[in-house]
């Protein structure tokens, strides 16, 4: 008898696999990230094809196989149609899911991670998707990235200097991308430590506050900030992600 398992899951991506099948990567509530074969999904009359589009929340059944595990069934719970109707929303959500896919290992079950992923998608779809512009999209993506790193255990040190361990004060501070934390202005001026090229980025006091909020907030907080601060945050997040991979 074929063993079957059931779970709620978010479809992350879907790729062609063999002549009539698809390979589906999803993050499940019970079993973490999985890669499953959806047999016959490319056929014109496939009943499952419409339920396994990326950015879809489904109830699904896993069939255990000898060489591969299979997607036995999938019933769509939420299609996130607002996201899919707005190109800006689709772009930023697609970028967030690609980041999630690259950072999260297979079969590492984490209900907190699943709940965060779904709550962020619900937030974007219900509140922002229909009129999402570039600045809002970048803030939502940066929040997603910083919270994802924090949940995975890669939260940067934002309160104490990595060199002298003193509390960070409002001054000229830098973010050490390789070590994942702040270096205070005093240590930057007096330290004999050698840093790698492009390892340090100057970070403003307001950006440090924003980094702390986004890394620690369990729900997204709408904050009005200047476009220059949005760009600074995005630059720092992009650089952090490059060093974390």
Predicted pLDDT at 123: 96
- CB atoms near residue 112 (< 10 Å): 9
Predicted pLDDT at 196: 67
Cα–Cα dist 236/141, whole Å: 13
Report the chain's mean pLDDT, rounded to a whole number. 90
Predicted pLDDT at 3: 66
What is the pTM for the complete model shown? 0.91
CA quadruple 155, 159, 163, 169: dihedral positive or negative? Answer: positive
Predicted pLDDT at 116: 97
Query: Residue 235: which of 185, 192, 209, 201 has the closest Cα?
Result: 201
CB 37 within 8 A of CB 71: yes
Give me the domains of the chain, ranges plus CATH numbers: 4-78 (2.40.50.140)
User: What stretches in the chain show pLDDT beneath 50?
Assistant: 1
Predicted pLDDT at 193: 63
């Amino acid at each position: 008898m074929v063993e079957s398992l059931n779970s709620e899951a978010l479809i992350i991506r879907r790729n062609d696999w063999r002549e009539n099948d698809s390979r589906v990567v999803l993050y499940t509530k019970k079993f973490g990230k999985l890669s499953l074969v959806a047999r016959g999904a490319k056929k014109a009359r496939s009943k499952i094809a419409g339920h396994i589009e990326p950015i879809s929340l489904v109830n699904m059944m896993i069939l255990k196989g000898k060489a591969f595990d299979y997607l036995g069934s999938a019933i769509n719970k939420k299609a996130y149609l607002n996201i899919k109707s707005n190109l800006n929303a689709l772009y930023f959500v697609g970028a967030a899911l690609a980041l999630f896919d690259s950072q999260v290992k297979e079969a590492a079950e984490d209900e907190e991670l699943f709940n965060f992923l779904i709550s962020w998608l619900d937030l974007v779809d219900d509140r922002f998707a229909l009129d999402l512009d570039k600045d809002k999209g970048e803030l939502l993506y940066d929040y997603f990235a910083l919270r994802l790193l924090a949940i995975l255990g890669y939260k940067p040190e934002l309160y104490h200097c990595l060199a002298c361990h003193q509390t960070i004060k409002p001054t000229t501070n830098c973010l050490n991308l390789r070590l994942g934390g702040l270096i205070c202005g005093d240590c930057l001026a007096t330290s004999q430590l050698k840093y790698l090229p492009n390892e340090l980025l100057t970070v403003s006091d307001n950006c440090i506050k924003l980094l702390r909020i986004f890394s620690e907030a369990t729900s997204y907080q709408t904050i009005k900030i200047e476009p220059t601060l949005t760009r600074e945050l995005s630059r720092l997040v992009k650089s952090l992600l490059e060093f974390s991979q």
